[in-house]
Structure 1
């Protein structure tokens, strides 16, 4: 039974059988061909049996395994590796089907490979999950052609794997690496000009590309025979909280991810940068109730705590309670802090309803409200109009776009900092604002 389940016929075998049937029919018209057809058919059957014998004479002719990280990064392209080892005495042509988690809704994950005898082939592909949570991979199916490519043998490696998908730690590591090498500008992070040198002097160190030339210490450079610069450090131990709205306004999708996921990914990156700046990072999530509060700290385990909390966040489909948010901040956050509120306002009236509570929060903390451009509206605004209906649609889009800009103006009039950004540029714009606050001594 196992033999039958693992035996498959190739298209070449079907072509041969179809040709044989055609020749037999032709032999009824030309009887002289019958003997030749019988001989050819017999040779074909023998070749098929030899091909089958070569494949099935060895019970474990190939071996395959999947390799990936212990956790995947949401919204990023994650590397998946399949190692295929050929234990046959001849080269093989193989088709590999990897059973992906149902969340990807992908059934054509097929790869083809040629592997020499005794060698291992590495198949590499990437996956981009768009939801946090648990993902289960199924078996690896390998279909191996015989030397004559007439039959196939199926190998099934039951490598069921369950892997969690966390907020985008790959994006966080990418920003961290660029920060270490002074190449953050490649991601769009601006070089913020420090206003004066109110920051504390830290050390004299060697010059590296990207350093401000005005900080060169010429006396130290002359002594060392290389360029040396004065290094300054920002004020430390400031509290930075990322507050994430989980209400229904954050369910809107963009490029597969919800606005909530974009806010979560940006919060993880910003928390890591704040910790590297020697600040204290914390998280608060809320909707119609306060869901989670991670007090701002600077411990070595703080980033892992933040990641574990962000991993479990889900959108709640009720309107968020900003009065409750204000009460929680007054009760839990006693020290003046930088608060980054990730939310979304689609209308000016919606923002005005929450404005009294935002003004109260801004009295005690430095508040930055981060909300999103409607990218679909931007696409409509750039289209030409050819009909009356399109004119009306574009007019409505312009109204909503205007209201977004009015929200920024309204917040500014009440002394509240804000960012209106597309989801794609959320992380960069948030980092730029944070660094701007640090350079001005506001944070």
Structure 2
């Protein structure tokens, strides 16, 4: 989503500076002046003529500079910037600049432009600025450049600076074109949209998920259909088979209308970064991908962000529009320096969420807050199913995999091993309380969340 910011009615004045050609002319003039001085010393009569000639050249040069300066007071270029409807963090997207000029068509003059677009600081541009190209008089051109954002939230494009030479090329003219635009940079919704467009079987294949055998009777009847190899013979409808004179089986679907609530840790422990995205951005992307799958299965999805400067709660609801609403609600949530207070957020959720739900807590596990986390989970378990999704730091896994060759390697290995053992002990305690655990590296968290969600659906737990 893009919006145009208000601008001042008066455009910025043109800025003119002497070009390289002027510097070259002045250098030649200085050399000639030195030669004239030497000539006057050797031949006073001839030197007087040289001085007069030098004054004539100086007057002509001054006239040319003033005349060309005056001719360079017109704003020759007009431009527009076309942005995508929305931006997604980490995705390569293009920006189009449409440029034109006010020179009469057929004029022999050709403009050589240097374009510098003031993009947001959070956007990395592939092309080097300024971009140079030439345009003929009276023609319009489209210029394309590419970039990607590495930070979510509201971002602002600024002015477009265009530099070109005056008619006699004695002045560099810089024209600023006011094109302020504000854009929303969302989490990686492109992957979500692409995934959402796929059939269930295609989704499972793409995500590397396995179909799980349904257990129990917690499945809803969907329809009758012709029997296929591999179908459970207990689901054959013998009466319908007798009427149709062929094998008919009952097809079931997972229970719908369940509620899924995500508790997203926005505190300082989520600021860790193993690649281009922080753990928090990976967690947000994983939450949205798994929420998309849950919504497609007919469940209601909501969220609560905690350890933020202002606590956010998004009430569970169903339907495809809920995903768009969730994107717009969560796109500008940023990680803070606050410490996660698990007891406070679970108490707040208990007041807001009365209906039984699957509560998915996405956080980074650390043993110093183990007692508080265990108490918070035990409190949630009174009325809800609880899943804790935690991320393993990739750097710790690398330290454990690296060969030990020096004392520093040994220290890193032992420290990483001790950390992982304490972490695993906390996971074991959570599992002993009946908590479902997703433990994955940040870039694989979405797979773990979707796999466990579908597993619970298939088993009739939710």
TM range (shorter): 0.7 to 0.9
Query: How far apart are the structure 2 equivalents of 1:12 and 1:150?
Result: 6
* Larger Rg computed on CA atoms: 2
1:315-326 pair list within 5 angstroms: 315-326=335-346
The equivalent position to 1:63 in structure 2, one of 59, 78, 84, is 78
Matched, 1:389 2:408: yes
* Cα separation, partners in 2 of 1:54 and 1:284, compared to 1, 3 Å: same
Within the candidate set 96, 105, 120, 1:81 is matched to 96
**Number of aligned pairs?**
415
In the alignment, is the contact (CA less than 8 A) between 2:259 and 2:316 conserved in 1? yes
Give the match for residue 417 of structure 1: 436
| Pair 1:125-2:143 in alignment | no
For residue 415 of structure 1, give the secondary structure of its aligned residue in structure 2. coil
Instruction: Give 1:268's aligned residue.
Output: 288
SS at match of 1:112: strand
Matches within 5 A, 1:246-395: 246-255=266-275, 257-287=277-307, 291-299=311-319, 301-311=321-331, 313-347=333-367, 349-362=368-381, 364-395=383-414
Provide the rounded CA distance (Å) in 2 between the counterparts of 1:246 and 1:6.
Answer: 46
Flag structure 1 segments of 5+ consecutive residues without an equivalent: 206-211, 216-228
1:108-257 correspondence runs (5 A): 109-117=129-137, 118-132=139-153, 134-145=154-165, 151-177=171-197, 179-180=198-199, 183-184=202-203, 189-196=207-214, 200-202=221-223, 233-255=253-275, 257=277
C-alpha deviation, 1:397, in angstroms: 2.1
How far is the alpha carbon of 1:29 from its aligned partner?
7.1
Q: Which residue of 2 aligns with 1:98?
A: 117
Q: Is the 8 A contact 1:342 1:370 kept in 2?
A: yes
CA deviation map 1:287-316 (0-9, x unaligned): 499923323221564334423432453445
SS, match of residue 336 in structure 1: coil
Q: Distance in 1 between matches of 2:251 and 2:68?
A: 72
Residue 18, structure 1, aligned to residue 32, structure 2 = no
> In the superposition, relative to structure 1, how do residues 11 and 243 fare at CA in structure 2: closer, same or farther (>3 Å)?
same
Q: Deviations over 1:321-356 (max 9, x none)?
A: 333344344443333322211111133x53344223
Contact 1:62 1:84 in 2 (8 A): yes
Q: Which runs of 5+ in 2 are unaligned?
A: 1-10, 232-248
Contact 1:94 1:113 in 2 (8 A): yes
**Distance in structure 2 (CA, Å) of the matches to 1:182 and 1:120:** 46
Aligned with 2:207: secondary structure? coil
Task: Tell me the TM-score normalised to structure 1 length.
Answer: 0.76
Distance change >3 Å, CA 339–CA 354, structure 1 → 2: same
TM-superposed CA distance for 1:438, in Å, is 2.8
| DSSP-derived class of the 1:121 partner | strand
State the TM-score, normalized to the length of structure 2.
0.73
Match of 2:448 in 1: 429
User: Any idea what SS the aligned residue of 1:426 has?
Assistant: helix
Structure 1 residues 54 and 282: alpha-carbon distance in aligned structure 2, compared to 1, 3 A threshold: same
Q: What is the CA RMSD across the aligned residues, in angstroms?
A: 4.4
Q: CA, structure 1 residues 101+288, in 2 after alignment: closer, same or farther (shift >3 Å)?
A: closer
Task: Provide the secondary structure at the position in 1 that maps to 2:374.
Answer: helix
Partner of 2:423: 404
How far residue 70 of structure 1 moved from its aligned partner, in angstroms, is: 5.5
Q: Per the alignment, do residues 91 and 199 of structure 1 end up closer, same or farther by CA in structure 2, a change over 3 Å counting?
A: farther
- Higher RCO (CA < 8 A, seq sep 6+): 2
Supply the distance in 1 between the matched residues of 2:27 and 2:301 (Cα, whole angstroms).
71
